[in-house]
Chain A
Amino acid sequence: MKKRGAFRRGEGFSGPPRRAALLCALTALTMSAAPARALEGPAPDAAPRRVVSVNLCADQLALMLAAPGQLLSVSMLAQDPRSSVMAEAAQALRVNHGLAEEIFLMDPDLVLAGSFTSAATVGMLERLGLRVERLAPAYALEEIAGLIRQTGGLLGREAEAEAMAARFEADLAALRASAAESTHPRAALYEANGYAPGEKSLAADLLRVSGFASVAAEFGLDHGGFVPLELLVLAEPDMVVAGRPRDEGAARGEEILVHPALEALRGRSGVGVLPDRDWVCGLPATLRAAERLGAARRDLEAKK
């Protein structure tokens, strides 16, 4: 009998006690930081001092606007030069992977997220007592100035944000004026997997401001969708704006960007380059991309 009991206890050791240990660890985790901050309790209108951003677009706006030392961590993508215009500045910061646990342990007083950040993560962070603010993505260039002001307001950097937003609005107006003489050649945006951003996307607005008509309208794409390569070829655009496969790591989805048919199409039309980082997020740098596309459009028109 005794032997059997001992055996049973030994068996149980890998069961319930382990779960209990895990529970303890979790409880400790949730209790360690939250009460401490609840006691300090920063005044509601004071500028946050420990900001963590978990969204690529918020990362870049915060990197541009935050005071030195104010921003603790940005998302992993912010360090990727293909996705982020602020990759260099982001190298100095810790990266996060959008996981509630790692974010909580950084003990932030403000978490910047995007509208489409995982609802489970945001919900968890809010339950843990953190302040989470979500930034909407920009679907048009006009919205960018508002995003800059909003981010500045959240960070307590209103003056810097206002200056940046005003400069942005002036640049945008100048760009629109310079596109007035355009003959509106038709440009097609084409990305990995045959994705084409639609009429209501930031990328299409970028094309319009640069003086192009977007082929996406002919495909009936609102926000964007997958366009078979043969439809793109048959549309015979005047300009193909497509990315290039990355050097590191292969993906079948990017092979379409060097498909012989697309290369042949590029050979016949103008070739525009619009790296992901210039259209994924609405930023002041987005206007630089529009300026480059505008120059490519003038080259194209001069050739005709």
Chain B
Amino acid sequence: MSYGALMAVLAFLTAALFCASLLIGPGAIGLADSLDALLRGRGEAVTLVMREIRLPRALLGVMVGAALGASGAALQGFLRNPLAEPGLIGVSAMASLGAVISLQTGLAAAFALALPLAALAGALAGALLILVMAGPRGAALTLILGGVAISALGGAASALVLSLSPNPFAAAEIVFWTMGSLADRSMVHVGLMAPFFLIGLALLAPLGRGLDALTLGEDAAEAMGVGLRRLRLTLVAATAALVGSATAVAGGIGFVGLAAPHLLRRAVGGAPSRLIPAAALGGAILVLAADVAVRVIAPDRDLKLGVMTALVGAPFFLHLIARARRDGA
């Protein structure tokens, strides 16, 4: 399949799942009624459901998935390590910590953008830490050990802050910050995420060429005129904006950034410049599918998205290990 055809198929799947996300929900609303309400505002209650409950959820599914898929593909390209994934290397956990702190200090209530900004700051700290620890090559062992350490630190600190909250409901939300959910989100959250999401994508877009050159090695890339320092800084900023804003509104959703690039790497031929857009669509497909699945499986339980993505993602992880062992033998 050509790259163009692949992207068309991915875009079609994203659009189809976006519609499914709009049309599937606990309230049984007919197809015609749903569309009538969404597009023309017919029927007060149904319009409210479509425009204020389902539409933001579907939009966030696309944005959160694309953010995680694209940043996963970019990190993997830069570190030349297939294990680099925002959830695994601790960037998501640190973003959660930032978000939790801004919520519990009352900063987010005083100033709405404080929530995504704090999550972004957390993601930035996580990304810088892992780059410092793993070094420019991102050797698998240091990357994973560093990631485990940062994830544990971020998760524990978030749990501590939530446990000390005067609000009795806060401690129960540790699961949300580690597993993620799109339940009961509103257009307010879409508005909070959108600017950072677009900035992150804009920062990431021009990096493809440099990342492609980097697949040949650092020396070769520098010889081709790629500024590694600048590439690295832009990449960290883009990842922080994408993962930070996604985590601020949806919690930490694992495995999307791992599974989306892996599913598509062979089909696009492995060049990061082609993989990043494909993985963005792939991530959107995974998150939308997971979010439709949680609503079909347990409509009244707010089953967390991380449960579904881990069920899909963990086998990929095992597959990676199996392949690494086979290659090693």
Q: Which of A219-243 contact B (CB under 8 A)?
A: 225-231, 233-234, 236
Known: A228-B300, A255-B184. A249 touches B48 (CB 8 A): no
Contact between chains at B169 and A253 (CB < 8 Å): yes
**Interfacial residues of chain A within 247-264, with CB under 8 A of chain B in the complex:** 248-256, 259-261, 264
Contact across chains for B25 and A228 when beta carbons are under 8 A apart: yes
B residues 288-329 near A (Cβ < 8 Å) are 299-302
Q: Which of B7-15, B81-89, B104-112, B235-243 contacts A (4 or more CB under 8 A)?
A: B104-112
Task: Kindly specify which of B49-57, B59-67, B271-279 makes contact with the partner chain.
Answer: B49-57
Q: Is B103 an interface residue (CB 8 A)?
A: yes
Bound-state Cα–Cα, A134 to B34, Å:
51
A251 touches B186 (CB 8 A): no
Q: Please report the C-alpha to C-alpha distance between residue A291 and residue B328 in the assembled complex, in whole angstroms.
A: 76
Complex CA gap A41/B169 in Å reads 43
Contact A231 B169 (CB under 8 A): no
User: How many B residues touch the partner, as a band?
Assistant: 20 to 34
- Determine whether A192 belongs to the interface, using a CB cutoff of 8 Å to chain B: yes
Contacts of A253 in B (CB 8 A): 169, 172-173
How many whole Å from A37's CB to the nearest CB in chain B?
A: 34
The chain B residue sitting closest to A264, CB to CB, is B48
Are A229 and B53 closer than 8 Å at their CB atoms?
Answer: yes
Within the assembled complex, what's the spacing in Å between the Cα atoms of A251 and B45? 27
In the complex with contacts A228-B27, A230-B26, A261-B53 CB distance below 8 A: yes
Contact of B109 among A228, A234, A250, A268 (CB under 8 A): A250
Report chain B residues within 8 Å CB of A259: 52-53, 184, 186
B226 contacts A by Cβ under 8 Å: no
In the complex where A230-B53, A233-B49 touch, is A225 in contact with B169 (Cβ < 8 A)?
A: no
Interface mask (B151-185 → A, CB under 8 Å = 1, otherwise 0): 00000000000000111011011001000000110
The tally of CB-CB contacts under 8 A between chains A and B is 89
Scan residues 188-220 of chain B and give those whose CB is less than 8 A from a CB of chain A: 188
B184 adjacent to A226 (CB under 8 Å): no
Would B49 and A249 count as touching, CB distance under 8 A? no
CA distance A260 to B167 in the complex (A): 22
Q: Which residue of B lies closest to A248 (CB)?
A: B166
* Min C-beta distance of B98 to chain A, whole Å: 14
Q: Is the CB of A234 within 8 A of B184?
A: no
Name the A residues within 8 Å of B46 (CB-CB): 234
In the complex the two chains form, is A252's CB within 8 Å of B176's CB?
yes
Shortest distance from the beta carbon of B192 to any chain A beta carbon, whole Å: 12
> A228-B299, A230-B25 given as contacts; is B167 within 8 A of A251 (CB)?
yes
Query: CB-nearest residue of chain B relative to A249?
Result: B167
A251–B173 touching, CB < 8 Å = yes
* 17 cross-chain CB contacts under 8 A: A192-B169, A226-B301, A228-B27, A229-B53, A230-B26, A233-B45, A233-B49, A234-B27, A234-B46, A249-B170, A250-B109, A250-B170, A252-B176, A253-B172, A260-B187, A261-B53, A261-B186
- Given A259-B186, A260-B52, 14 additional A-B pairs, CB 8 A: A193-B169, A193-B172, A226-B301, A226-B302, A230-B25, A230-B26, A233-B49, A246-B166, A249-B165, A250-B170, A253-B169, A259-B52, A261-B49, A264-B48
